[in-house]
Structure 1
Amino acid sequence: MLLHCVFLQFADRYAEAERKEVLRDLGTLKGEVDGMLQYHHGPNLDFESKTPEHKDGFVILFRDREAHLAYERHPKHVRLSARLVEMCVGGADGIVVYDIACEGDTSSQST
């Protein structure tokens, strides 16, 4: 599995409604891209005060890299990602992406 994590520094000139719309629209790809298993988005609560400039983000769980590639090539994703770049401070510089290879569920392990 692959966890695609995206953190956004939207430019102030974009209203919250515009920000939420593009994030919501990305979620509609879940029904269109085989292997796109989960999609979650929301504001960065930044409890540790480490990333105040990245106020919003989303994560997608993919079955595998092939599903991620299908998502990357999907015409709706191409259009929406271009919109995100346009909406962020410094374009692509206002976007941080982490792709994490999930090595298993450790939720039942005690620490």
Structure 2
Amino acid sequence: MVEHIVLCTFSEQTTDDQKKEAISRLKALKEEIPGIIDIQAGMNFSDRNKGYEVGLTVRFDDREALEVYGPHPKHQAVLAYLKEIGITDLICVDFDC
């Protein structure tokens, strides 16, 4: 299995409702992209976040499934929405588990 972790920051103009919509769209990818075992996403509540506001974890069957996920049109549509609402930074970590 492969674990994919993403942390995101947004502009000050991005609303909580827009972030919640992004989280909803991210979670929906589980039903739309093959090879996803599980998706969890949510808004940060910790003061140890170093500015990151939304967290995402995606568990895949294998590295090949992760490779399919990146360019998949449904994933690209969510990325376009994140850009539209003002994502300013993201960091990703991928590892075998």
TM-score range, shorter chain: 0.7 to 0.9
Contact kept in structure 2, 1:46 and 1:52, CA below 8 Å: no
Considering fraction of residues, name the structure with more strand. 2
1:69, CA displacement in angstroms?
1.6
Provide the TM-score with structure 2 as the length reference: 0.87
1:77, CA displacement in angstroms?
0.6
Output the CA distance in 1 between the equivalents of 2:71 and 2:54.
23
| Matching residue of 1:76 | 74
Contact kept in structure 2, 1:5 and 1:57, CA below 8 Å: yes
Q: Which one scores higher on RCO, CA 8 angstroms, separation ≥ 6?
A: 2
For residues 1-111 of structure 1, what are the structure 2 equivalents within 5 Å? 1-46=1-46, 49=48, 51-86=49-84, 87-89=86-88, 94-102=89-97
1:56, CA displacement in angstroms?
1.2
Provide the TM-score with structure 1 as the length reference: 0.77
1:44, CA displacement in angstroms?
2.1
SS at match of 1:59: strand
Larger-Rg structure: 1
- In structure 1, stretches of 5+ residues that fail to align are 103-111
1:79, CA displacement in angstroms?
1.7
Superposition RMSD in Å: 1.5
1:83 partner letter: Y
Q: Count the aligned residue pairs.
A: 96
Q: Deviations over 1:9-63 (max 9, x none)?
A: 111101111111112112111112221000001122336x2x2300211100001
- In structure 2, stretches of 5+ residues that fail to align are none
Output the CA distance in 1 between the equivalents of 2:12 and 2:95.
29
2:25 partner letter: D
